[in-house]
Structure 1
Amino acid sequence: QDHLAHCDVVSYWTWQAERLTQLEDDFARLEALSPQTRKVLGCYMWDYGNKKPMPLDLMKHQCEIGLRWLEEGRIEGIIFLASCICDLDIEAVEWTRGWIEEIVN
């Protein structure tokens, strides 16, 4: 907890896709540990923890929660990790691309 006081911003990521069902509880623990630290939500588009594609329902889940938190002021932004997979025709990537376009417009 003490080391968080030295951070300008905490980016919060969920390594294993199945943990995304607990995202709200897990993030609330971070908020309790460091209420004054600025936060951003990191969204993986690949389930790196299990070495497989991100299930689309969980991709949607983390994006919808992230948008709500952004609107509520709980986070300052959303980071999408995609540089190594953005051209591989992965369902979660394609859905996210469309979702971002829809949100922006």
Structure 2
Amino acid sequence: MKQLKDKFWIWGHPPASCNDYNVGENKFDVTPAQGARYMGAKNIFYVAFGHPMDISEYSKDMQGINMVGLAVENWGELKADCLKKTLELSKQFTKLDRLVFDDFFGAVGAPYRMNWLDYTIEELVEMRDKIHEIGCEMWVVLYQAQCNDERVSPYLDVFDGVSFWFWNEPTIIEYHKSIAWLLENTIGKKRLVGCYLFNFGLNKPATPELVKYQLDCNRLLIKNGQIDGVILHNNALGGMNLAAYEEAKKWMDEFGDEQID
């Protein structure tokens, strides 16, 4: 029987990658695997986020990790084809089971990643076929602010799974409204719900009480089979003495070992 922590992921960024957001002083570095073990999460997405990331070195530290996901980006090779480069790196991870298109539905593409406005549905289907050939699923990041863009839906249909995020920390009402939309509009898809441990949208600390509330609700969604898990964002915040980060740690200590069907 699985435990709740088997359904939890760390959004794995390079240490110090959040410094641009004035989060606070980084007192010590925390790698993705270290962050996962500290939190009690059993799975990791590796997302360079346009920063240098020694992915080969990280691939050697899989202690306590069940599953791995890789972001589809150029991994520091500026002129590289993002998918081709990621498929090359995928060979280093025996526990890899998914690739994720981070910030895919952004209005403007960053040079290190892909943007939906540059690709047709047919091209995405071809990419999905290549990803399936290596035994992986194709996932995409979706933010609550993108839910009402009718152009997104046909693209969303191509993906196997959706990771859903609140860029601005949600109120309780906003949380439930957005989750209802997610459940209604992603039928047949796998779903992960992201939980930010810093309010990046408003560039201020996340509210510990709201982090706990989201985790409490997401726990019930997991137990009811409505979502497949939760992503904690992110390890790079681990050395910054953030109350919301420690609240998530406290919550995982309390519920992580809970047995689920």
TM-score, with structure 1 as normaliser: 0.91
Q: Secondary structure at the match of 2:232?
A: strand
* Aligned with residue 2 of structure 1, among 131, 150, 154: 154
Matched, 1:59 2:59: no
For residues 6 and 39 of structure 1, the distance between their equivalents in structure 2, rounded to whole angstroms, comes to 14
Residue 253 of structure 2 is aligned to residue 101 of structure 1: yes
* SS class of match (1:84): helix
Cα distance, 1:39–1:49 mapped onto 2, change above 3 Å: same
Alignment partner, residue 240 of structure 2: 88
Deviation for aligned residue 1:35 = 1.0
Larger Rg: 2
Q: Runs of 5+ in structure 1 lacking a partner? A: none
- Residue type at the aligned position of 2:218: G
Following superposition, the deviation at residue 20 of structure 1 comes to 3.8
Amino acid at match of 1:8: D
Please tell me whether residue 47 in structure 1 is matched to residue 210 in structure 2.
no
The one of 175, 178, 185 equivalent to 1:26 is: 178
| CA distance in structure 1 between the aligned counterparts of 2:212 and 2:203, rounded to whole angstroms | 19
Q: Which has the higher helix share?
A: 1
Counterpart of 1:84, as a letter, is A
Structure 2: distance between partners of 1:80 and 1:3: 25
Separation of aligned partners in 1, 2:198 and 2:256: 23
Letter in 2 for 1:5: D
Q: Distance in 2 between matches of 1:5 and 1:20?
A: 28
Deviation (angstroms), 1:96: 0.7
What is the CA–CA distance in structure 1 between the aligned matches of 2:223 and 2:187, rounded to whole Å? 17
Identity of aligned residues (%): 24
- Amino acid of the structure 2 residue aligned with 1:29: W
Amino acid at match of 1:40: L
- Which of 184, 187, 206 is residue 35 of structure 1 equivalent to? 187
Tell me the matched-pair count.
Answer: 104
Does the 8 Å CA contact 1:20/1:62 hold for their aligned counterparts?
no
Structure 2: gaps (5+ residues): 1-152
Deviation at 1:102, TM superposition (A): 1.3
Which residue identity does 1:34 align to in structure 2? T
Per-residue deviation, 1:58? 0.9
RMSD: 1.2
